[in-house]
Amino acid sequence: MTVTDSSAGAPTETAAQLEQAVLLRRVRAWLIVFIVGLVLSGVTAFPLVTEVRWGHELLVAWGVETWLPSLVEWFARVREGLEATAADYPFIAYGTDWLAFAHLVIAVAFWGPLRDPVRNIWIIDFGLIACAGIIPLALIAGPIRDIPWGWSLIDMSFGVFGAIPLLLVRRMIKRLELLQADVRPV
């Protein structure tokens, strides 16, 4: 409902409504980016053996071992481990299938804020907590699982880079909430 200013005869809420529309579009755009990232992270957890083989072959083909030998060695080790596990114990990959599924389920949860950001801001908070949780997990589990420090940093970067759009979205949702409260009739 548009309220009119009796002295000017023009709608007074149009600027607020326009800002709401712009904020809503931005929130949805950032959420789509985040959802796509979760889906891609999930889907790529299914074909690990193939992906690591391709990654290792690309690193070798590009001659990366001349300037980053430890990276190529790590890919070779992971490839060997995944191929041996897949050949002898294929059921172990079931764990990464569940990892993939979890990413997809979490992505679905973000449809709530996509539809109604203000009402579902708690999902953004949940996502921020999950992003923060990546850091201690990588710091604790990385050394226990003999993960190289550089790889743990890459893992932690997913939490940092995941939190950036969520922090932006959260700030925009809070502004949207204020604007919606100002427009509601008393």
Q: Which residues have CB under 8 Å from 29's CB, separation 6+?
A: none
Q: What is the pLDDT of residues 16-28, one digit of tens each?
A: 899 999 999 999 9
Q: What is the pLDDT of residues 58-92, one digit of tens each?
A: 999 999 999 999 999 999 999 999 999 999 999 99
Cβ atoms 172, 26 nearer than 8 A = yes
Taking each helix axis from N to C terminus, what angle separates 69-88 and 48-61, rounded to the nearest 10 degrees? Answer: 150
Per DSSP, 110 falls in state T
**Where does residue 140 fall: left (phi above 0), alpha (psi -120 to 50 degrees), or beta otherwise?**
alpha
- As a whole-number percent, the residues of the chain with pLDDT over 70 amount to 91
Q: How confident is the model at residue 155 (pLDDT cuts 50, 70, 90)?
A: very high
